[in-house]
Structure formats: C-alpha cells, structure tokens
A = this chain, B = another copy of it.
Amino acid sequence: MEVKEITNRDDDFAKWYTDVCKKADLIDYSSVKGSMIIRPLGYAIWEEIQKALDKMFKDTGHENVQMPMFIPESLLNVEKEHVEGFAPEVAWVTQGGKEKLEERMCVRPTSEVLFCEHYKKIIKTYRDLPKLYNQWCTIVRWEKTTRPFLRSREILWQEGHTMHRTSEEAIEETLKMFNIYKKFQEEYLALPVITGKKTEKEKFAGAEITYTIEAMMYDGYALQNGTSHYFGNHFADAFGIRFTDQDNKLKVPYQTSWGVSTRMIGGIIMTHGDNNGLVLPPKIAPWKVIIIPIGEVSEKLKELEEKLKENDITYKVDNSNKTPGFKFADAEVKGYPIRIELGKRDLENNQVTLVRRDTLEKIVVNYEEVLEKIKYLLETIQKDMFEKAKNRRDSMIYEAMTYDELKDIAENKPGFIKINWCGKTECEDKIKEDTTLKSRCIIEDEEVNGPCVVCKNKATTRIYIGKQY
C-alpha cells in the first residue's frame, strides 16, 4: 500500500496530468484504444456537472430528447460544409449481425443532421417554434492522439439544438446558452474564462458564428471548454425545413447548437490540481468532506455524520484499515475540499482538525463549531479557488505589438497573447505556422491600438491567441 507518487507538476506537466487522472482514480485504460473508462469518482463529478447544467437548461425552457446514435452516410452528406468538417474523423459501422449494410452509417460525431431531419417533420407553423431540444449522450470522433478527458475517441457531452422563427431570436439563444456556460464554469468549476467569437477560420463546420469559452490551464495552454453556434438558416434550408409564419408566408427557421463535454473535467484538473493531486471546487465535488477517524471515535463520528446529513453536506468516511498518513495522502490525491481528522485525543480536548484541500491549511476548531466552520470553508474555498486561478491567469496574459514581440512571448512566456489583427486568414495562418499559436477568440471590449501584428496593415480586430489542447 504505497503512497501514490505523482510527477512534479513543474517538471513534466503532461505526465503530472495523466498521473493525477490515474491516481485520483478518475479514469483507467482498457483494450479499446483511444477510449477511457471513467471510474466512480470521475463519473460522480460528471453527474454533478450534469445535474447543475441540466437544471439551468430546463429553467430556460429546454427539453431533453434522445436521437439515434448512428447517422446513415447519405444523411451526413446533406450539408456540404458540415460533412467536410466531420467525415474524416468518424467511425463507420459497415456490418450488422451477419449482414453487410447496404449503406454504411457513422457513429454520431455530433447530431445536427439528425435534429434537422426530425425538425423537418415536426415544425409546420410559427406556433411550433421555438423548438428548444437538448440531449446528453456519447459521440465518437476518430482522434489519432488521445488524452483522458481532453481528446478521446468517445466523448460524453450534451448538445443543444434549437430552431427559431427569426434570426434575432436564434442569436439571442446562442448568447443565452453561451452565458449559461460561462456562468457555470466560473461559479461551479471556479474556472476564470475568456469568451468571445471565433474567427472565420476557427468556427464550427457549417456555423455562421461560433462563440467560445476558453480557459487557461496551469501551463498557459488554452482549453476550449464549450461552444455555442449560430447557424443562420442554411442548414435548415438544406434539410427543407419550412414553416408558415404569422403573415402566412412559408419561411425557413433559424438554428443554434451548443455543447460542453467531460473535457471540463480536464479543465478542473489542469487549473486547480497541484503536486498532491486533484483539487475539487466545493460546488462540483461529489463529496464535500472526507472524514478520517483516528482511534475509537465511533460515537462522535455518528453524531457528526448526522449533522452533515441534516445539512445536506455530502461526505465520505475512510474506514479502511490503512494508516492515517496513507489516508491523508489519499484524501488529497482525490481532491475532497475539506478533510476532517476526527481524532480521539483531539476530541478529549473537545477539538476537531479540519484541513483545506486548496491551501492544505490545518484549522483546529471546537467540536460544537465544526458544522458552521465547514459551511464557511466551503464557500470560502470556492471563492478563493476562483480568485487564485483568475490572478494567475491574468498574470499570464500578454500584449504583443510587433511580430518579433509575439514570437518572443510565444517562445518564453506561457499564456495568452493579445494582438491587433487585420482580419485576414493569411495572417492568422502565418502565426500558426511560425509559432503553434492559434486564434482563441475576438476581443470585443478593447479597441484596436496599432497595426496588424503580422502584415502591419490596418488592424480591424483584437484577438487572443495561444497554444491549445
């Protein structure tokens, strides 16, 4: 029963990441290449994410449905831009039982075409609009190199697909869901994020506008952690969706889609984790508290458990036969926000020791005050984790006014870089070729303050660029 060794985060961040994934029992590998097993703690975090987001979706009028997991090739081919974006990376089913399929089908990489086919059948008049559907499901993209949660052949996610009477309504929906994602990631996952439109080059296959949520990881790399797309009505048009509007004219509705995935769990790990393992923000931790009894304390333990239950504070008790030292390390690697050391000697002095996972600070409190202190700490930890991540993120955002400055920062300072840009894809491509930086998103609230950092012509836009997962 060795204490689990984790690679130092500053020595080898990639290895540190997979160590934490494995040693916190979040995932395991199997003989299915490119897929991962999500273990109980990993899946419990996903369930917390689902519970919170699903409520936000339903509170804003969305309904859950379930589409087929397969897409016949001819259906995938209906929208040209879309199929070009996805066909190279899908898994094809070619045989069912003993029979070879007449038409092969892919496992859905995303479900726009399935929703469109359905919407064509159920949208007839303006009274049928809006349609606000979402589904929680697994999608498949045949990635060559994979990493737990970040890039996997199978991805657990949700995908919202909505149809609207007007373009304005659809854009409003795109932004509404984008803001829900932002709020969720900041308030629940304690992830400070930058947000904005993707450039033409980087937007989703077939979308007119893509809004993106970009979080900065500990190593300065960006994690695209959710997108919300406005499609206009060319998709709906390609699928022949028509409705009779109030003016009795036949029109084509406007469409959005939006999604987030288990990738967010990777974002939690790489933003908050440390050399002792996972650090979970209290609002998304499946168990807020881990109790480690030391010595014969069963009576007080029972009392404490009752108190926690009454106050809806989820917890676990480590009753295994391991040493307290091992249990402390295990509680740390698994990221429980608060550890309670319920010791016989402490209790004789009417005391209990609490340990904050985010700071590892030890706090000794009187037994009577333990519940109030836990409540206070859960709120404080959530707030502090966000602030700490935000301060670090802000300190790693740079501005480059010239191409030399850009290349220098790219080489020497991990983080995001703000630049002025002429808006041409050639300049965007050049940056990518020279530096491995890619456009993150357009900066909406800052004015252009110089020429395009690449071609030196007049800039029209400011954007964030950065390396990405």
Contact = CB atoms under 8 A, between A and B. Distances in A.
B94 A95 contact: yes
Given A30-B68, A69-B154, A107-B107, A118 B37 contact: yes
A68 B118 contact: no
Contacts of A35: 68-70
Interface in A101-123: 104-105, 107, 114, 117-118, 121-122
Contact of A91 (B28, B66, B96): B96
Interface residues of A, number: 56
Contacts of A92: 93-96
A187 interface: no
A321 interface: yes
A43 B66 CA distance: 7
Contacts of A71: 32
A458 interface: no
Contacts of A70: 32, 35, 91, 154
A40 B98 contact: no
A140 B156 CA distance: 17
Interface string A378-413: 000000000000000000000000000000000000
A127 B154 CA distance: 32
Given A91-B93, A97-B89, A68 B32 contact: yes
Interface of A: 28, 30-32, 35-40, 43-44, 46-47, 63-72, 74-75, 88-98, 104-105, 107, 114, 117-118, 121-122, 127, 133, 137-138, 140, 142, 153-154, 156, 320-321
5 contacts: A32-B68, A32-B105, A37-B67, A44-B63, A93-B94
Given A38-B66, A40-B65, 16 more contacts: A30-B67, A35-B68, A43-B64, A43-B65, A44-B63, A44-B64, A66-B156, A69-B140, A69-B154, A70-B154, A90-B96, A91-B95, A91-B97, A93-B93, A96-B153, A138-B138
